Amino acid sequence: MRDNNSEFSSDYRKWFHSRNVSKSEIRWQALVEKYGIQVDSWLAKMWDLRFHWVPAFLKDTFVAGMTSSGRSESINSFFDGFVNSNTHLPEFIEQYSRALMSRRQAEERQDYLTMNSNPKLITRFPFEKTAADCYTAIMFKLFQAELHESMSCWYEMVSNNNAATIYVVGLCDEDKRKWWTVVYDESEGVTLRCECAKFETEGYFCKHILRIMQERHLTVIPEQYMLKRWTIGARYIMDNGVCTSKENENTVTPIMEWSLKALATKAAHKASSSIATYNECRSLLNGFMGKFDELCLMDNQFVPPDGIRSEVGSTVISSDMPGISIRDPQVVRTKGRPKIASRIPSGQTNSQKEKKRRTCSICLEKGHYMTTCPKKAKVCNI
């Protein structure tokens, strides 16, 4: 269809980048009528899944600025320099630990820089100082980029209904049809909403809202719009693995499990500093494990210490079972031309041939020129 009609790609992009759900549905119907899209076609099936990939239907979904392809690229970059396609399985396990340690060290360096540096402000707006004090260094750079763009934005008031005021905001050199709608509401505190939904999807204000904050002379960012996950103390105010909610007091959350693993890893690193601390930590853990086994037995969740619970069911597989070992996967010959040439090299290399062709005009020997001839000095003296 795309090859038969050159306008399809342009119409498709307009539909995909629709600003809201109503425009997206209208443009989709226009696509169906114009190009005769069948109900059982691949594109129609993708339309049925539009709530998972079309931007207009994802404006209420928080994605932290990450796309599906960006997630895979982030994972690939995480292992860059540690593993490759030729890494064997035992080596991968060791390299994975090194990659994880490297990431944690990088995070600690960023925490140190954030805690011990003062970001440079580009304006005198009080809410920029508030953001600099609360956001991490990387997050503040993203916020500051939007703030810098907001100073190039114009706005127009569309309506003023009691406490709610509606504006359209956009870049001064941009077509007004591309401006975005911003709603400023004071009925129940200060509420700010933008049609671009940057806060809803990425967690910080867009340039359009920041422009209206300047117009309304707001000095601070409302508390509900300062997500804790982007703040300096997010790592420390997270709940530290302690259950404080009565609603979830009987449920172990993923954050609690992660915090427990992090604490155990930290203890293992400290205990490995000497043989004395290692033995002391090991004896303490053995005592704790005996106590935990009793608690798990009371909760009917006991697993024998010499067994490993399988991933599929509740069958316990003994770790001492003979014949079970981890081996590298079988290497299969790939199709196409091999990466390394299989051609047998000739008996003489290019350097050897070049050396053989060299003939000195003084001594008539091969292998060097007259400028480097050892007999040249004798000839000159004669």
Give the pLDDT band (50/70/90) at residue 132: very high
CA geometry: angle 226, 227, 229, nearest 5 deg: 140
**273 lies in the same domain as 216:** no
The lowest-confidence range among 122-131, 304-313, 365-374 is: 304-313
**212 lies in the same domain as 266:** no
pLDDT higher than threshold 60 for residue 215:
yes
**217 lies in the same domain as 263:** no
pLDDT at residue number 338: 58
pLDDT higher than threshold 50 for residue 307:
no
CA geometry: angle 372, 378, 382, nearest 5 deg: 135
48 falls within a domain: yes
173 falls within a domain: yes
Domain that holds residue 156: 126-234
**296 lies in the same domain as 214:** no
pLDDT at residue number 141: 93
Contact (Cβ atoms closer than 8 angstroms) between residue 165 and residue 184 = yes
Identify the domain boundary among 203, 234, 265: 234
340 falls within a domain: no
pLDDT higher than threshold 70 for residue 246:
no
Give the pLDDT band (50/70/90) at residue 346: very low
**209 lies in the same domain as 284:** no
Give the pLDDT band (50/70/90) at residue 183: very high
**135 lies in the same domain as 198:** yes
170 falls within a domain: yes
309 falls within a domain: no
SS3 string, 65-101, reads CCCHHHHHHHHHHHCCCCCCCCCCHHHHHHHHHHHHH
User: How is residue 308 annotated by DSSP?
Assistant: E
Phi (first) and psi of residue 312, to 5 degrees: -85, -55
**185 lies in the same domain as 156:** yes
* Mean pLDDT for all residues in the chain: 77
**130 lies in the same domain as 226:** yes
First-to-final CA distance of the chain: 88
pLDDT at residue number 254: 65
273 falls within a domain: yes
**162 lies in the same domain as 209:** yes
pLDDT in tens, 312-337: 333 444 444 444 455 556 666 666 66
Identify the domain boundary among 267, 284, 301: 301
Greater model confidence, 192 or 331 = 192
pLDDT at residue number 131: 92
pLDDT at residue number 37: 86
pLDDT in tens, 226-242: 988 888 877 654 444 55
283 falls within a domain: yes
Give the pLDDT band (50/70/90) at residue 286: confident
pLDDT at residue number 76: 72
Give the pLDDT band (50/70/90) at residue 184: very high
**208 lies in the same domain as 293:** no
**Burial grade of 297 (CB within 10 A; 0-12, 13-18, 19 or more):** exposed
Q: State the amino acid at position 43 in one-letter form.
A: L
Q: What is the DSSP string of 118-179?
A: -PPPSS--HHHHHHHHHB-HHHHHHHHHHHHHHTTEEEEEEEEETTEEEEEEEETTS-GGG-
Mean pLDDT across 211-235? 88
CA geometry: angle 353, 358, 364, nearest 5 deg: 135
**297 lies in the same domain as 224:** no
Token pair, residue 265, equals 């890893």
**Burial grade of 4 (CB within 10 A; 0-12, 13-18, 19 or more):** exposed
pLDDT higher than threshold 90 for residue 217:
yes
Q: Which residues pair with 359 in a beta bridge?
A: 366
Q: How many domains is the chain built from? A: 3
3-state helix, strand, coil in the chain (%, to 5): 50, 10, 40
**132 lies in the same domain as 218:** yes
pLDDT in tens, 9-39: 888 888 988 888 888 999 999 988 888 888 8
pLDDT higher than threshold 80 for residue 8:
yes
Rounded to the nearest 10°, the torsion over CA 246, 248, 251, 252 is -100
296 falls within a domain: yes
pLDDT at residue number 205: 94
